[in-house]
């Protein structure tokens, strides 16, 4: 089975594919000044971009782990998520509250998906 790295860097790759299964790196917002709505939109846009680079879309996402720095943001994150998610192909999802890597970071998402190409 082949292993392919998407945009590898010195610390990590944007995604690693084993066969047609893709493991995306944690997607985080660049703008840490935004509220949970803005940060969630930015993260979901990044997921869309990586999936497109892999030749897929959100319909190919199997599972998402959502990490929130404050569980009080759960409803706000869900509002943005619900507007984004493909209702015909919703992934499995888990959400937890954890300290995140940088101050101001409110959300991180980790995706496992099918990479069609």
pLDDT bin (cut points 50, 70, 90) of residue 1 is confident
Q: What is the pLDDT of residues 6-21, one digit of tens each?
A: 999 999 999 999 999 9
User: Is there a domain that residue 82 lies in?
Assistant: yes
Q: What is the pLDDT of residues 30-63, one digit of tens each?
A: 999 999 999 999 999 999 999 999 999 999 999 9
User: Is there a domain that residue 19 lies in?
Assistant: no
User: Is there a domain that residue 57 lies in?
Assistant: yes
User: Is there a domain that residue 110 lies in?
Assistant: yes
User: Is there a domain that residue 14 lies in?
Assistant: no
The DSSP annotation for 33-82 comes to TS-HHHHHHHHHHHHHHHHHHTT--GGGEEEEEEEES-GGGHHHHHHHHH
Q: What is the pLDDT of residues 97-113, one digit of tens each?
A: 999 999 999 999 999 99
Q: What is the pLDDT of residues 76-97, one digit of tens each?
A: 999 999 999 999 999 999 999 9
CATH code where residue 67 lies: 3.30.1330.40
- What b/e sequence results for 29-50 when a residue is b if at least 16 CB atoms lie within 10 Å of its CB, and e otherwise? beeeeeebebbbbbbbebbbeb
User: Is there a domain that residue 46 lies in?
Assistant: yes
Q: Could you tell me the residue range of the domain that residue 80 belongs to?
A: 28-114
User: Is there a domain that residue 45 lies in?
Assistant: yes
In this predicted structure, the answer to whether residue 2 has a pLDDT above a threshold of 90 is: no
User: Is there a domain that residue 105 lies in?
Assistant: yes
Share of the chain above pLDDT 70, in %: 99
How many domains does the chain contain in total? Answer: 1
């Amino acid at each position: 089975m082949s292993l392919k790295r998407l945009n590898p860097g010195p610390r990590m790759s944007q995604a690693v594919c084993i066969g047609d299964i893709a493991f995306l790196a944690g997607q985080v917002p660049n703008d840490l000044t935004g509220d949970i709505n803005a940060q969630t939109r930015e993260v979901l846009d990044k997921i869309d971009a990586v999936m497109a680079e892999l030749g897929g879309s959100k319909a190919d996402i199997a599972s998402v782990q959502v990490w929130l720095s404050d569980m009080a943001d759960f409803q706000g994150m869900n509002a943005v998520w619900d507007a984004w998610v493909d209702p015909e192909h919703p992934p499995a999802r888990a959400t937890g509250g954890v300290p995140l890597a940088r101050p101001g970071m409110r959300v991180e998402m980790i995706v496992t998906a099918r990479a069609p190409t």
